[in-house]
Structure formats: C-alpha cells, structure tokens
Amino acid sequence: MKIVENIAYIAKGNSLKVVDISNKREPKELKSLALSHYSSPLRNIKLNLDKNLAFIQTKDSIFIIDISERDNPVLKDTISIEPNNEFFIKENYLIITKYREIEIFDINDLDNLKKISVENMYSDYYNSTYNNNYIKGDSC
C-alpha cells in the first residue's frame, strides 16, 4: 500500500484499489482496477507521482497504471519478468534487475514504451570462473 495525501493505493489480491481516506472513520473506495485474469497475486507497488503512474509487481509481471485520474486508473502496459526480479523507478526510467542483467525502460511515453538498455552484469565473472575453471574438467 502507498498513501499520497488522503488517497491510498492498495495492491490486494489481483486488483488495485484506490481509496479516499480523508474521513478516517469512513474510508471510501473510489475505484478498483481488476487484474484478475493474471494468475499470480500482486506483491509490490511503487508510485511515480511526477508521471502519475503506479507500478505493480506480481511474480511474473509489472503492470504500469496511469493514476492521473484517481477515480479511474488505467492499465497502460505490462512487462513480463522472471520470478524474484526487483524493479526501481528513477526519474523517467523503469529499471528491472534480473538474475544476470539489468533492463532499463524509458517511461516518458507510455504509448510507446521502449527498452533502451540491457546490461549483462555477470558475464565476465561467469565466463572466467565457470567456463575456464570447471568446464575444462577441473575438480571442485
């Protein structure tokens, strides 16, 4: 859950719920955006308030949701990921850390989402350690 001013953004089950909490005794649900056709439950939510975006992670996807109208969130895009990946938002970029690489997406124009970089983080280590030492028959 993330709270901005008096609005709570809650990733629960398979939906995003937008709740007005200005009246603490009677919170009011403004909208629920169902993502129920996706199999794994929602796990993580991050907001980019400059862009009015919510990023919600499941086991195998990141949903990008336009929250500029808080009572009408709109799913803009979905990015497939591997289990246990992490993601970060930095300025106009979505950064996804994968097992052996980092992917960077430009989120300036969600109608034209672009992967701008993929960096293999472990190639030198794995190539030198595993390919040169163990594959040649050395014992561990």
Element (H, E) at 123: helix 123-126
pLDDT value of position 35: 78
Please state which architecture CATH assigns to domain 2-134: 7 Propeller (2.130)
**pLDDT tens string 60-91:** 888 999 999 988 999 999 888 887 788 999 88
Q: What is the mean pLDDT of the chain?
A: 81
Q: Which amino acid is at 123?
A: S
Structure tokens at 86: 């992490």
CA distance 30 to 50: 21
CA distance 76 to 93: 15
Position 37 confidence tier, pLDDT thresholds 50, 70, 90: low
**pLDDT tens string 89-126:** 988 899 998 777 889 999 988 888 888 978 776 655 55
All structural domains of the chain with their residue ranges = 2-134
